[in-house]
Amino acid sequence: MVNWESARSMGANFYQVFIEGPVGPPLQVTQSFGDYLWSVPLNAFELVTTTPTGGGYYPLRSAGQIWLNFWLGLLLDTTGRPNGLNQISIKLFSAENAASEIGHSTDPGRFARVMIDNTVPVVSIQQIDQQPGNVAINTCAIVQTGTPTFTFQVTASAPQSHLMG
């Protein structure tokens, strides 16, 4: 999340994003992300991809634009990131060069600590029943009669109580 008005009021035109895990140095994030921008000619939201420049500089959103996710500054794919407490920080720039940095990424409001947990649960389908009547169906069965309504008995598990009960 980025406070676009505040960043612009400080003279920023670009920003960079960094993530620092429980171990290791901060890594610069340079992945593209999409969000929906209101299009007056279309009278609808239109998907727009934001891609950083070669130096990892994302452009600030322009004043007056209407975005579906107004504060969105990045959709971060955390696949491959270590589980645990991570810090996400942003640096603001007036131009696309390091000498134009405004303030520092440790300034209040420029970073957030987030818990990342990419542990996936294990899910299995125990039984499939066709309705009405709870008629058991085999896993690979082709159903050609009756209503196309089914109920599933599902078991899900994850280590360390990741699933809320």
Between CA 10 and CA 51 the distance in angstroms is 23
Q: What is the 3-state secondary structure (H, E, C) of the chain?
A: CCCHHHHHHCCCCEEEEEEECCCCCCEEECCCEEEEEEECCCCEEEEEEECCCCCCCEECCCCCCCECCCCCCCCCCCCCCCCEEEEEEEEEECCCCHHHEECCCCCCCCEEEEEECCCCCEEEEEEEEEECCCEEECCCCCCCCCCCEEEEEEEEECHHHCCCC
User: Which class for 8: exposed (0-12), middle (13-18), buried (19 or more C-beta within 10 A)?
Assistant: middle
- Over 60: is that where the pLDDT of 161 sits? no
pLDDT score for 6? 94
- Over 60: is that where the pLDDT of 61 sits? yes
Between CA 134 and CA 58 the distance in angstroms is 54
User: Which class for 63: exposed (0-12), middle (13-18), buried (19 or more C-beta within 10 A)?
Assistant: exposed
pLDDT digits (tens, 9 = 90+) for 148-159: 788 888 888 877
Higher pLDDT, 137 or 88: 88
- Over 90: is that where the pLDDT of 131 sits? no
Q: Which of 2-11, 24-33, 52-61, 119-128 has the lowest mean pLDDT?
A: 119-128
pLDDT score for 162? 60
pLDDT score for 88? 94
Residue 75: band (very low, low, confident or very high) from pLDDT cuts 50, 70, 90: very high
pLDDT score for 164? 54
pTM of the full predicted structure?
A: 0.74
pLDDT digits (tens, 9 = 90+) for 20-33: 988 888 999 999 99
- Annotated domain spans of the chain: 4-116, 122-161
Most confident of 58-67, 97-106, 121-130: 58-67
Tokens of 155: 């078991």
pLDDT digits (tens, 9 = 90+) for 77-101: 888 888 889 999 999 999 999 999 9
Q: Which of 63-72, 86-95, 106-115, 152-161 has the lowest mean pLDDT?
A: 152-161
